[in-house]
């Protein structure tokens, strides 16, 4: 299983250094945290890794191979998957169809991942449907398989996004605030799934505002503030670091 390396990565939007010369590693088989106050640059990091945004400086390597200039569909095919901070499902497609798109992304890179581009063969393929149902089951969604995704409660839509992101069996999955807006019971259920995924060898990058959640789950945590990496390491130590405390209190 490959690891993901960011080396000296920056993103400037005009004069704003949204991400400023950061270096980090997402190893396989672990949950790595990326925390920081609003506007710190966390989503921008995910957008660069996943090929949604170009880099201003630096390199991103997957198992030694640069993916820094790859388009998002190529990054997905190489085994790096993501969720979005703002949910992006096809609201009029069923929950099952939304998950089927996840298989499609890995196996048919370059095709626009929408329902029109989803070949009937894939939609009707029994093996894919069975795999999709077992994913839905894992996320407690199977009873909604035929429901239009847009009609689900927010917490359930987030789960559909996650099921879709891992459908392709990625090596690395980037989760942008996956438990935002969920209650403690729902967050704990997802925490269990995240641990299982890491135990199966997947490398997870967990972006989260809730420091307690990250501390419970992550082996290593990175802290961004105004685009700069102000601390990294063991989550219990990092979250006691006065610089980190100040960054959180300052918001």
Task: Tell me the window of 10-18, 76-84, 140-148, 182-190 that interacts with ligand ADP (CB under 6 A).
Answer: 10-18
Task: Tell me the window of 25-33, 41-49, 63-71, 113-121 that interacts with ligand ADP (CB under 6 A).
Answer: 41-49
Residue 220 contacts Mg ion per CB under 5 A = no
Task: Tell me the window of 21-29, 43-51, 95-103, 223-231 that interacts with Mg ion (CB under 5 A).
Answer: 43-51
Q: How far apart are CA 35 and CA 39, in angstroms?
A: 11
Residue 51 contacts ligand ADP per CB under 6 A = no
Closest contact distance (angstroms) between CB of 47 and ligand ADP is 7
Residue 105 contacts ligand ADP per CB under 6 A = no
Structure-block tokens of residue 227: 């685009």
Does residue 132 contact residue 99 with C-beta atoms inside 8 Å? yes
Residue 43 contacts ligand ADP per CB under 6 A = yes
Residue 154 contacts ligand ADP per CB under 6 A = no
Q: Residues 2, 41, 51, 178: which binds ligand ADP (CB under 6 A)?
A: 41
Residues that bind ligand ADP (CB under 6 A): 13, 16, 18, 36, 38-44
């Amino acid at each position: 299983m490959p690891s993901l390396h960011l080396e000296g990565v920056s993103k400037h939007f005009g004069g704003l250094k949204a991400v400023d010369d950061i270096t980090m590693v997402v190893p396989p088989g672990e949950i790595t945290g990326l925390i920081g106050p609003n506007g710190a640059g966390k989503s921008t990091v995910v957008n660069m890794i996943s090929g949604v945004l170009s880099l201003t400086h630096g390199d991103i390597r997957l198992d030694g191979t640069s993916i820094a200039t790859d388009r998002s569909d190529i990054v997905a095919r190489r085994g790096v998957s993501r969720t979005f901070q703002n949910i992006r499902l096809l609201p009029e497609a069923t929950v099952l169809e939304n998950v089927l798109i996840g298989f499609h992304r890995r196996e048919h890179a370059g095709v626009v991942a929408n329902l029109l581009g989803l070949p009937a063969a894939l939609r009707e393929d029994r093996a894919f449907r069975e795999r999709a149902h077992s994913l839905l089951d894992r996320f407690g969604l199977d009873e909604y398989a035929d429901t239009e995704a847009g009609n689900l409660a927010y917490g359930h839509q987030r789960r559909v996004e996650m099921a879709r992101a891992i459908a392709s069996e990625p090596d690395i999955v980037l989760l942008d605030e996956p438990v935002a807006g969920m209650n403690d019971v729902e967050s704990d259920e997802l925490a269990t799934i995240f641990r299982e995924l890491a135990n199966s060898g997947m490398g997870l990058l967990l972006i989260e505002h809730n420091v307690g959640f990250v501390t419970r789950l992550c082996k290593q945590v990175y802290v961004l503030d105004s685009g700069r990496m102000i601390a990294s390491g063991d989550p219990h130590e990092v979250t006691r670091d006065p610089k980190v405390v100040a960054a959180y209190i300052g918001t």
